[in-house]
């Protein structure tokens, strides 16, 4: 994903949570996931090249990168 697409995507989303490892955005307007083209629930922008996340429920995940930072798109089916 290039920087322009990323900025456009982030501008449509609602920031929910931020810590040292990641920033989480909620997709309140049903933006399509750039990977599978289905609307996603949340976007997790990792701040480093690697991170670990605690999952509290089973989720579908799509993964891409933006300037080597992992972007995780979650789908709650
Ligand atoms: Zn997806």
pLDDT in tens, 39-56: 999 999 999 887 777 766
The CA 30 to ligand 1 mean position distance, Å, reads 12
pTM given for the model: 0.88
The CA 73 to ligand 1 mean position distance, Å, reads 6
Q: Bridge partners of 20?
A: none
Sheet architecture: strand order including 22-26: 14-18, 22-26, 42-46, 69-75, 60-66
The CA 36 to ligand 1 mean position distance, Å, reads 4
pLDDT in tens, 11-30: 999 999 999 999 999 999 99
The CA 33 to ligand 1 mean position distance, Å, reads 5
How far is Cα 73 from Cα 31, in angstroms, rounded to an integer? Answer: 11
The CA 70 to ligand 1 mean position distance, Å, reads 14
> Domains of the chain: which residue ranges?
3-76
């Amino acid at each position: 994903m290039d920087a322009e697409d990323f900025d456009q995507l982030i501008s449509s989303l609602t920031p929910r949570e931020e810590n040292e490892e990641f920033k989480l955005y909620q997709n309140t307007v049903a933006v399509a996931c750039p990977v599978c083209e289905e609307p996603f629930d949340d976007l997790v922008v990792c701040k480093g090249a690697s991170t670990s996340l605690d999952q509290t429920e089973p989720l579908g995940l799509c993964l891409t990168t933006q300037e080597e930072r992992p972007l995780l798109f979650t789908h709650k089916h």
